[in-house]
Amino acid sequence: MRKERKSFYDEAMEAFHRAADLIRLNPRVRLELEEPDFEHIFYVTIELRDRLVPLGPEDEASYRDLPASSMQAADALEPLANGSFVLHRRALLDADITMRRGVIRIPGKGLFRFEKGGPRSFKAYRIQHNQARGPYKGGVRYHKEVSLDLFKALAADMTWKTAIAEVPFGGAKGGIRVDPLQHSKEELEHLTLRYMYKLKNLVGPYLDIPAPDVNTNGQIMAIMMRQYTDGERERHSMRGVVTGKDVRIGGSEGRVKATGQGVVYCIEEWARERQFPLASARVIIQGFGNVGSWAAEILAEKGCKIVAVNDAFGSVANEAGLDVPALVRWVYDNPENLRRTVLGFPGATAISREDFWAAPADIAIPAALGQQIDGRVAEVLKVRLVAEAANGPTTADGERVLASRKIDLIPDVICNAGGVTVSYYEWLQNQRLEHWSEAEVDARLERAIKANYGLIRDIARDTPQKTALHDSRSYCVGRKLDMRTASMVLALKRIAAHYELEGFSQ
């Protein structure tokens, strides 16, 4: 009989079950945490603009004599990362168009086929996993491959992460199945407004608090906040409905870099314990979005050499170390780089994905999507440490291989907890109508990350102790554990305390 393959969610919950067995978690509490409180699945609709889609090479000969069309409005065409253009309504003002069978020629750009827009439907999600410790909290992801199973795993991950960070939140996650590279800024704004319109009765500053995730940012959070607070008499008291906002509209100093900063604080603790000279470390980073780019910048400032970077479109390397500020400018300040990819960066050599993972280094930072370091990748890594900046980047097989090869691992639930920790600081500032300095935010974050990292380290080593920063005596279980299981022990003991002390509502 063929063995049924485990789902992404089942695999993600393996550490939960290991830790629950170890601490003899109350069976009813275990049932409360095994599945989400609520799974919201719905659809959002928007009107897409008309598009100009590149004509295939095989069809170009039929339009060789087609005259060029002229569009005078500077912003008539919005370029998309897939090579298409969104045709805005103002495009026809003072335009001189020649079209044959739906095809036009744009000077300097080539031949394009007109594609009619119209209403489109997109599948959307919001999974609310657990609120025993406080309001649901978790990111909003826009990606073409999201699913219910994925969001369940990510929402549960947020429940553990908020407990480990010791902030008064529970776990949630959500988003929309969409490829942002194929849509205009206006379309994504309309999609966001519609998403929050559908969610309005399910979220709030004391109910469920979204934040940025993959392919979303402070601008998306601003749009969500506007939709939620529009027309409300006390709208400024509702700023805490989302976190990760621009500082000019209630965001926190240090929030944009917080997840990458937290990754570095964890790496610093690992290096300090092992008396490893961090300033001489060689680092490879998978993913150069918000988290990966900030981790790269902060580590480079500390003297580390970022020798290779990979993203969805390719990999680049420089044996002497990449010029990180120049790479950031190439990705984020280059109007020609619509895909925001590291590929093509002139200060590096393009390499294959396989060569990226096999690059000799001291530290690997997966900062992209989940399930990237499987058993095969773990076999070729030439590093001493994997610091999980992404959510669930290492598979169960990958983790077993890393352990067998004595490669250390800092699990995601502590390594990337800087984001939700500073989100809590932002939420606090919103409730108090305060604004803290970046120095204050960084100092609070460093204390929190390093204290909770110390707790997890003590649980893993079974060395109960009380220090100036933490007290691990009530968390150790009498045996040594791997870091992921130790993290889960800390999370479950903190969550279980609420059920043990408060009981169950009837």
pLDDT below 50 — which residues of the chain?
1
Smallest CA-to-CA distance from 140 within 209, 47, 37 is with 209
Q: Which of 173, 245, 450, 493 is catalytic?
A: 173
Distances (CA, A) of 181 to 57, 79, 85: 22, 10, 11
Q: pLDDT at position 506, please?
A: 75
Within 336-466, residue ranges assigned H as helices are 353-357, 375-380, 396-404, 412-415, 418-432, 438-461
Largest CA distance in the chain: 81
Residues 6 or more apart whose Cβ sits within 8 Å of residue 250: 225, 239, 240, 426, 429, 430
Q: pLDDT at position 505, please?
A: 82
- H or E segment at 225? helix 218-229
Q: pLDDT at position 251, please?
A: 96
Alpha-carbon gap, residue 221 to 87, rounded angstroms? 26
443 alpha carbon, distance to own chain's centre: 23
This prediction has a pTM of 0.93
Q: pLDDT at position 94, please?
A: 77
> Is 185 tagged catalytic?
no
Under 8 Å between Cβ of 177 and 68: no
**β-bridge partners, 460:** none
| pLDDT tens per residue, range 262-320 | 999 999 999 999 999 999 999 999 999 999 999 999 999 999 999 999 999 999 999 99
Q: pLDDT at position 58, please?
A: 85
**Exposed, middle or buried by CB within 10 Å (0-12, 13-18, 19+), for 328?**
middle
- H or E segment at 29? helix 27-34
Distances (CA, A) of 177 to 38, 44, 94, 141: 19, 10, 37, 8
Q: pLDDT at position 69, please?
A: 87
